[in-house]
Amino acid sequence: MSDSSIVKPGQQKGFKIRVYIFFAIIIFILLALFLKIGYIQIIKNPVFKQQSETYRERIIRIPPIRGKIFSADEQVLASNNISYNLYISPKELAKDPEIRQSALLYLGKVLNYDYLDLEKLIKNNLKSGRDILLAENIPFITFIKIKENLENMAGIMVKEILIRDYPNKKTLSHVLGYIAPIDSNEFSILKKEGYQNTDLIGKNGIEKGYEKELRGIEGRKVYEIDARMKVQKEISEKEVKPQPGNELVLTIDLKLQKTVEDILANRIGSIVVLKPQTGEILAMASFPNYDPNIYILQSDENDEMKRQIALDTRGTPLINRAIQSVYPPGSVFKLVTGSAILQENIVSTEKEYFCAGLYRINNETFGCWVRPGQHGWQNLSEAIMNSCDVYFYNTGLIVGIDRISKYANLYGFGKALGLDISFESTGLIPSKQWKKSIGQIWYDGDTLNSVIGQGDVKVTVLQVANFMAAICNKGYAFRPHLVKQIRSSVDGTVMKEAIPEKIINLEFDENVFDYIHYSLRRVTSEGTAGRAFASNFASNKLKFAGKTGTAEVGMGQKKQTHSWFAGFGPVDTPLDQQIAVVVLCEYENGSFLRFAAPIASMVFSAYYNKEDYLTTAKRLWYPIKDSYAE
């Protein structure tokens, strides 16, 4: 026997140790495996069970019905119509290539789409995980054809949805606004409130301002699906019914609104009709306007109309000129200085200044609108009646810009009034401090421009309407508002009703407003608006008060003028029967009082006689009837 075949005791012991280590490793691996299995089966079982259940469930969102909008006379301004929309869910298309191709070929045939285009569309949207809106508002016959074959078209869905409808087209478009697909910025803010990136949302006007009230609360349906993504059954106990949005009743008188828009016609500008005793806006017109329906459905025709609106930088149809645009108020602003003169007794009401058609100061000449004519000797009432610039040049320097700014602010100029729709401009009331803040010095010439509503003074049409309401009420005015009631769309219960909120309360002497009323009455009876209101008085015996204004914009050869009229009445009726009317026509361009004052006269007459503009124009011998589009 060889020595090499004999296993020595030390070697035998080392072999046994290696065997022990091997079995220890095997036991450790098995133990770890059993622990892992136990962890998965026992500890993680609820999590995986929930994931499994989620995987086998398909949740379908049910959008709520958006609340309707009504006028004060219960006419429908915004409602909802049924539309059939076709969607593709890329991740749920059939996995079998032949079944998938067959479904897409049939879909392409029905919709007249190319098969390859459909495949390309699906491929481009696969990573997003979103359902693809392939076609919206499809014809009912197309809806039926697709519906009949849906069982063989996994991943294809036809949804019945309600789309917003504005039955009056362009009428009241700036007040109502419109809804449109939510953009990325809006979605990033609102997704925590349950909005999805396919939702529609209010973009302007009432639709935007009352989005939360109108939208409602979405519901859901839950379906059990198999491995091939086919629906097996509806899980009714998990269904959540949607809650419809609330209805809104506006302060708008629809008949008056249509008449006001007809009267404004194709002139760029705005008209606001306000109830001084409540702040209710009865009509708010702005031209150019637009049809909000074009923003609801995507079509070549609607896209072209939206493109034309976007390119119209002069008309800017989407701008609500009543609240978003700012203008120099012209001579309407003279009533601010007049209020300061009367309240603080700075200048006697009998003090007269001579108007020769111009005023000179520091080697500068400031003209009166009547130039080359003249007004002669004028006191305060006559200066208001005839809108004499020279009188206010003289008194403006005595009153001073600080007082003028103070009284303008008291009347609500230079700040938003808190209207219940968005994008209200503040305007600007200049002062020495303001000019210092922009690194400039205040000069007397700045005061002369400001006192007649020119220079840096900027106001909105709504601010002027509120100003007239404060004068009509002799010192107080309520917050202008457009929504009268919020009510349940289920049972009609009134959930909230507008309560007049006083935002201006001037403790002026009563004689201040008596004097202003007297002077404004003279404007419409014998002053700058006498001709415009003469036929109204002759036919109706209605007495109104108001102020004309011509505001210059631009410089030199590019100088143009806007036309204003702001008034209220009938002055011999109770306050709760009176209305304030403000008219702003852009670019009247020297046709003195051709537009604004006669338009206001027509609005007053149409409101109190409950008639349309054609009847009113014929009865009042309306001087610009020929400029209306037939």
pLDDT band at residue 589, thresholds of 50, 70 and 90? low
Report if residue 422 sits inside a domain: yes
User: Position 91: which residue type?
Assistant: K
Domain with 90 in it: 58-250
The mean pLDDT of 116-123, rounded to a whole number, is 78
Q: What CATH number should be reported for the domain holding residue 70? A: 3.90.1310.10
144 vs 456, more confident: 456
Residue 88's pLDDT is what? 80
Q: 299 and 400 in one domain?
A: yes
Query: Could you give the C-alpha distances from 125 to 89, 110, 114, 128, 296, in angstroms and in order?
Result: 9, 22, 17, 5, 23
Of 328, 273, 266, 323, the residue nearest 550 (C-alpha): 328
pLDDT band at residue 629, thresholds of 50, 70 and 90? very low
Residue 624's pLDDT is what? 46
Report if residue 582 sits inside a domain: yes
Question: Residue 4: pLDDT above 70?
Answer: no
Share of the chain above pLDDT 90, in %: 53
- Region of 222 (left: φ > 0; alpha: ψ -120 to 50; beta: rest) is beta
Report if residue 38 sits inside a domain: no
The mean pLDDT of 272-281, rounded to a whole number, is 98
Q: What CATH number should be reported for the domain holding residue 414? A: 3.40.710.10
Residue 590's pLDDT is what? 56
Q: 446 and 510 in one domain?
A: yes
Question: Residue 472: pLDDT above 90?
Answer: yes
Report if residue 36 sits inside a domain: no
- Region of 344 (left: φ > 0; alpha: ψ -120 to 50; beta: rest) is alpha
Q: 285 and 197 in one domain?
A: no
Report if residue 24 sits inside a domain: no
Q: Within 13 Å and on the Cβ side, how many CA atoms surround 595?
A: 27
Range of lowest pLDDT (436-450, 555-569, 589-603): 589-603
Mean residue pLDDT of the chain comes to 86
Q: 559 and 527 in one domain?
A: yes
pLDDT band at residue 405, thresholds of 50, 70 and 90? very high
Q: 334 and 195 in one domain?
A: no
Residue 538's pLDDT is what? 62
Q: 131 and 113 in one domain?
A: yes
pLDDT tens digits for range 310-366: 888 778 999 999 999 999 999 999 999 999 999 999 999 999 999 999 999 988 999
- Tell me the pairing of strands 494-497 and 269-274: unpaired
Q: 171 and 280 in one domain?
A: no
pLDDT tens digits for range 413-445: 999 999 999 899 999 999 999 999 999 999 999
| Cα 563 to Cα 597: distance, rounded to the nearest angstrom | 8
Q: What is the DSSP string of 525-556?
A: HTSTTHHHHHHHHHHH----EEEEEEEEES-G
Domain count, the chain: 2
Cβ distance 216 to 66 under 8 Å?
Answer: yes
Residue 2's pLDDT is what? 47
Domain boundary among 250, 266, 293: 250
Question: Residue 9: pLDDT above 60?
Answer: no
Q: 297 and 200 in one domain?
A: no
621 vs 483, more confident: 483
Report if residue 308 sits inside a domain: yes
Report if residue 509 sits inside a domain: yes
Residue 125's pLDDT is what? 72
The mean pLDDT of 19-39, rounded to a whole number, is 77
Which span out of 90-94, 135-139, 554-558, 575-579 was modeled with the highest average pLDDT? 575-579
pLDDT band at residue 622, thresholds of 50, 70 and 90? low
The mean pLDDT of 25-35, rounded to a whole number, is 80
Q: 266 and 234 in one domain?
A: no
Domain boundary among 201, 227, 250: 250
Domain boundary among 250, 281, 300: 250
| Cα 151 to Cα 394: distance, rounded to the nearest angstrom | 86
Q: 350 and 299 in one domain?
A: yes
Expressed in angstroms, the distance from the first to the final Cα of the chain is 131
pLDDT band at residue 28, thresholds of 50, 70 and 90? confident
538 vs 481, more confident: 481
Report if residue 346 sits inside a domain: yes
Cβ distance 179 to 202 under 8 Å?
Answer: yes
Residue 231's pLDDT is what? 65
Question: Residue 557: pLDDT above 80?
Answer: no
pLDDT tens digits for range 484-536: 999 999 999 999 999 999 999 999 998 999 999 999 999 999 999 998 888 76
Residue 628's pLDDT is what? 46
Q: 97 and 119 in one domain?
A: yes
Residue 342's pLDDT is what? 97
The mean pLDDT of 172-189, rounded to a whole number, is 91
Q: 487 and 475 in one domain?
A: yes
Of 425, 347, 344, 421, the residue nearest 380 (C-alpha): 347
Range of lowest pLDDT (139-143, 229-233, 398-402, 563-567): 229-233
The mean pLDDT of 378-405, rounded to a whole number, is 96
Q: 3-class SS at 469?
A: helix
